[in-house]
Amino acid sequence: MTILGNDDWWRDAVVYQVYPRSFADADGDGTGDLQGVRSRLPYLKALGVDAIWLSPFYTSPLADGGYDVADYRDVDPRFGSLGDFDQMIGDAHGLGIRVIVDLVPNHSSDAHPRFQAALAAGPGSPERDWYMFGEGLGESGELPPNDWESIFGGPAWTRLPDGQWYLHLFAPEQPDLNWENPEVRAEFRDILTFWLDRGVDGFRVDVAHGMIKAEGLPSVGRSSDEDGRQAEMLGDELVPYFDQDGVHDIYREWRPILDSYPGGRIGVAEAWVATPERLARYIGTEELHQAFNFDFMMADFHAKSFRTVIDRSLAEAELVGAPTTWVLSNHDKWRHVTRYGDGETGLRRARAATLLMLALPGSAYLYNGEELGLPEVLDLPDELREDPAFLRTGESRDGCRVPLPWGGTVTEGFRFGPTGAARPWLPQPASWELLTADAQEDAPDSTLNLYRTALRIRREHPALGGGQVKWLDSPEDVLVIAREPGLVVVVNISDSPVTPAEFGLTGEPLVSSGPLGADGSIPADTALWLAV
């Protein structure tokens, strides 16, 4: 079943990112799975999201949590089967929840049959032309073909026993595909069709800025040792392996495929590029529908940084005639509770930032567990960390991938799996007992209920997902935004309480991210939606 009716659903959709490995474990092996997702769809319906985006669940050695795909048309047995996928998407659509899947086109797994065939076939073969193989520099080719560095640290090239090198912008287990090869392009058009035929509502395109490399693979001329990272994720310098003009041809090939299906099938770009202007080039009627707005996620909890990013993002949206997206957390960054200071302060700020985000025009992406106010787990034992970046850079993304706490106690794995299940694949902190979904269910002030209330109000006021942002006069540390007629959002980022009356506002509080003062004042680090 496909959800028909509104092809523009994505413009103001609230999309919930599921990291399948860590969401819910139906078969009790300690790893989340698609039946686990299916079993929690009623929870997501009650939360009030419009769509889910699933991080990769495809066949994979999980060298990078599944962003190393060995079969793009099948489900890894740890996550279930294609039959489980069909049941999950059928139930989701039955509940009116759309489903976006992750597409990983920049690289495959080294276990992919095409890479294995390339290794076996040897230099100069058509099989090697599926990937980026090259000869090394130096007298006997002992140096890599250029100075490119992996995003996970170390050189982006690995040498094979036969002397050739292959490119991997990420881990060595993730060889880059050669998008200059028409067969690679045809393969991915076919993969798109495979999942569209199975009913998916869209694709989140992984490393959407990566597939095309500059002609001749020129060196960058700068290494991380000299100047931080070689490729800053949001730096303003173009590197020869990211954001090349040629990537846009790929999206122009894909768009007619998406458009040929009914119901509004979309593409959303994960593109870390220098400026909102460059990001805007990925979006529009001929390319993808949306791109993640990472500037918002990376902004400090400061009135000025939020305001600057919001203005820039809206200007960019205007440029392409498509609404922007907002995101505060995902599977690659520290959860926003922790980024904003951790502990009580972090949680208070995270809740305020969420209310700000959900009042902005465009679509919002939530990351599983943020509705429970989960912090980053910072004290995982090193030997349990699985992020391939950890060994190379000391930075680890495991702390935001800890299995979700649904109920009960830590000895029960917080009911991540059924009774008697194996321990969750990463250990959960005992302190999460107060943060489980069950513990928050009936607590009116819980973060879970804050999200539910905000999403309900957003549904009741469809205009909140669109329209303009009008900044009202306010002190420097307070954001006051007039939204659809009748709704004002106040975010108090200053150290002391403010009252709406100070800005000439009177009205009914609809929802606030924390308790208001007895006099209706908004405490520090608190946001309020006011009906005026």
Residues that bind ligand GLC (CB under 6 A): 64, 67, 104, 170, 206-207, 270, 331-332
Q: Which residues contact 400 (CB under 8 A, 6 or more apart)?
A: 329, 330, 331, 332, 333, 334, 335, 367, 369, 376, 377
CB 180 within 8 Å of CB 213: no
What DSSP character marks residue 8? Answer: T
Of 326 and 367, the one with the shorter C-beta distance to ligand GLC is 367
Of 21 and 349, the one with the shorter C-beta distance to ligand GLC is 21
Q: How far is the CB of 514 from ligand GLC (least distance, A)?
A: 31
What six digits make up the tokens of 440? 């928050």
Q: How far is the CB of 442 from ligand GLC (least distance, A)?
A: 35
Q: How far is the CB of 175 from ligand GLC (least distance, A)?
A: 12
Of 306 and 367, the one with the shorter C-beta distance to ligand GLC is 367
Closest by Cα among 167, 131, 136 to 149 = 167
The question of whether 183 is a catalytic residue gets the answer: no
Q: What is the CA radius of gyration of the chain?
A: 23
- Say how far apart CA 472 and CA 47 lie, in whole Å: 31
The residue with tokens 């034992």 is 381
- 361 backbone dihedrals φ, ψ, rounded to 5°: -70, 140
CB 302 within 8 Å of CB 284: no
Q: How far is the CB of 433 from ligand GLC (least distance, A)?
A: 29
Q: How far is the CB of 215 from ligand GLC (least distance, A)?
A: 24
Of 174 and 244, the one with the shorter C-beta distance to ligand GLC is 174
Question: Considering 270, 316, 387, 525, which one is annotated as catalytic?
Answer: 270
What six digits make up the tokens of 483? 């939204």
Dihedral angle, C-alpha 41, 44, 48, 54, nearest 10 °? -90
CB 343 within 8 Å of CB 335: no
Q: How far is the CB of 389 from ligand GLC (least distance, A)?
A: 8
- Say how far apart CA 144 and CA 158 lie, in whole Å: 8
Q: Which residues contact 498 (CB under 8 A, 6 or more apart)?
A: 475, 478, 490, 492, 521, 522
Query: Residue 178's Cα: distance from chain center in Å?
Result: 25
What six digits make up the tokens of 251? 């999206």
- Say how far apart CA 38 and CA 22 lie, in whole Å: 14
Q: How far is the CB of 32 from ligand GLC (least distance, A)?
A: 16
Question: Considering 102, 176, 206, 525, which one is annotated as catalytic?
Answer: 206
Which region holds residue 305: left if phi is over 0, alpha if psi is between -120 and 50, else beta?
alpha
Of 396 and 526, the one with the shorter C-beta distance to ligand GLC is 396
Of 170 and 432, the one with the shorter C-beta distance to ligand GLC is 170
Q: How far is the CB of 64 from ligand GLC (least distance, A)?
A: 5
Q: Which residues contact 266 (CB under 8 A, 6 or more apart)?
A: 10, 100, 201, 202, 203, 258, 288, 289, 290
Of 214 and 233, the one with the shorter C-beta distance to ligand GLC is 233
The question of whether 270 is a catalytic residue gets the answer: yes
What amino acid occupies position 13? A
**Active site (catalytic) residues:** 206, 270
